[in-house]
Amino acid sequence: MGFSNILKPRGVQWFIVPLIIVLLISVQFWVGARVQARTLDLRHSLNTTYGVALELTQVLGYGGLIHHFKNFLLRPDEIQYLEAGKEAARTADELVWELEQSASSLGFETTLSNTRSIIDGYSERLQRIPGLVDSGMSAHQLDRALRLDDRFAIQEISSLLDQLSVSVNFQVENIETQGRILNLVSLAGTIALSLLILTLFIQRRHRNEHMISIDALNEQLAASNSRLTEANTSLKQFAGIVSHDLKGPLRHISLFNNQILEDIDNGEMVRNHVCMSQASVLRITELISSLLDFTKTGFKQPELILIDIKPLIMDVVSEFQIPIDETHARVTVQAEGKILADALLIRRVLHNLMDNSLKYMKTGLPPDVNIVAKYLDDLEGGAMQIVISDNGIGIPCEHAQRVFEPLQRLHSGQAEYSGTGIGLSLARTVVNAHGGQIKVDDDYRGGTRICITLPCQANLKKLDARI
């Protein structure tokens, strides 16, 4: 597995980089603690060495070995000075060894040869004093004969302390420098990995945004494919239905033309045949106009805007004022709220449904049309339902789905009710393009009730993705 694969933000591997950062921060703390501990250890050892050196100087000086040597020299009959001198010599010898070991622990190897010579020299001269006193030498003569110059020992100890101080300071400086370097390296690694995590996070966020965009594009593509499939299906239906619906009028035209030829000398019969032929031509013209209207309107992409539903419905109703007056129809409107839709397309849907309600009326019964538009469950911003009810001839339950197919006219007596069967099919296509639904209420009795459900403001992003 390569390093780049380790850094990929997936699964357990995503926690490796933060773990490394934690380790690097731990290293920084450990290095700091280690530097401090080592520095304190060196300072403590140096202080201990200074203490040993001071004690050795005292043991050698006039409060120690030299002091006892002088006293025994002046009072050779007092043996306690001899024993005290011997004891001071042993103590000084031990302190010299301890001082050499302390220096070695601080990384400085040395031998205090001058100091050892002084100690050994005083020890040997202490043993000679009784014999020289017995030979008749005076105290002054003994002092001149036996005195040793201890300045070299003191200078040697002082020089060792200076060298140790320089060595310890140098070691402390090196340790602190190495600690700073390690901390800088660790800090640089921490910053680099933090930036890497930030980069990976940003890349992951961008990838998620891209995935969302891709999903939205896929949804759009799926919706487009669905619409294309529906369009192809509709075109296939058109091909069959139009072929069937056009054959009838064309056969009639051909038949009436033949009748005109046969009855060419009968003016009255010719006029009748021409009228019948013209009726078939008008039927074909109406059918072709309806198909063109469907292709122009049904396959148009909605241009969504926020519209107030009540003024739109009232405008549509006002367009039918003449047929309303002629049929003595009663139209009631109860509408409120706003929808996100293409005003022209929704107007066309409402126009077709209003036209059907006034057209397919029961004989002798004035149309009673009721239009209600409201938010579902009284929740603004979710969905709006538009219900158009009438007291017309109605739609049988078994044909509640079929009426939305192109060129379907289910009622009997087609001569009584004009139309091509395009209106409801066009309405379904427009409503589906808005992400809504349209259906016939199977439970409604005494006429027809068409229910339309359309998204409102809260579905803007969803609709944009679909369209």
Write the pLDDT tens digit of every residue in 299-317. 567 788 888 999 999 999 9
In a domain, 459, yes or no: yes
CA–CA gap between residue 412 and residue 414 (Å, rounded) = 6
In a domain, 311, yes or no: yes
Count how many domains the chain has. Answer: 2
Q: What is the CATH number of the domain that holds 445?
A: 3.30.565.10
Domain end among 204, 221, 238? 204
pLDDT band at residue 157 under the 50/70/90 scheme? confident
- Max mean pLDDT among 145-159, 429-443, 447-461 falls in 429-443
- Candidates 298, 299, 336, 295; CA nearest to 314 is 336
* pLDDT at position 48: 84
pLDDT, mean of residues 38-42: 80
Write the pLDDT tens digit of every residue in 372-414. 999 886 544 578 899 999 998 888 777 767 777 765 555 544 4
Report the percentage of the chain scoring pLDDT > 90.
Answer: 6
In a domain, 130, yes or no: yes
pLDDT, mean of residues 140-148: 72
DSSP bridge partners of 339: 307
Q: Are residues 163 and 304 in the same domain?
A: no
Cβ neighbours of residue 9 closer than 8 Å, sequence gap 6 or more: 200, 201, 203, 204
Q: Are residues 466 and 328 in the same domain?
A: yes
pTM over 0.75: no
Domain end among 175, 204, 233? 204
pLDDT, mean of residues 10-23: 64
- Candidates 124, 120, 125, 112; CA nearest to 153 is 112
Token reading at 74: 């002046």
Domain end among 204, 238, 267? 204
- Max mean pLDDT among 2-11, 212-221, 246-255, 450-459 falls in 212-221
Write the pLDDT tens digit of every residue in 214-228. 888 888 788 777 767
- Max mean pLDDT among 134-138, 254-258, 302-306, 316-320 falls in 316-320
Considering only 278-287, 305-314, 345-354, 363-372, which range has the smallest mean pLDDT? 278-287
Range of the domain at 158: 3-204
Q: How distant is the alpha carbon of residue 57 from its chain centre?
A: 74
Q: Are residues 46 and 167 in the same domain?
A: yes
In a domain, 234, yes or no: no
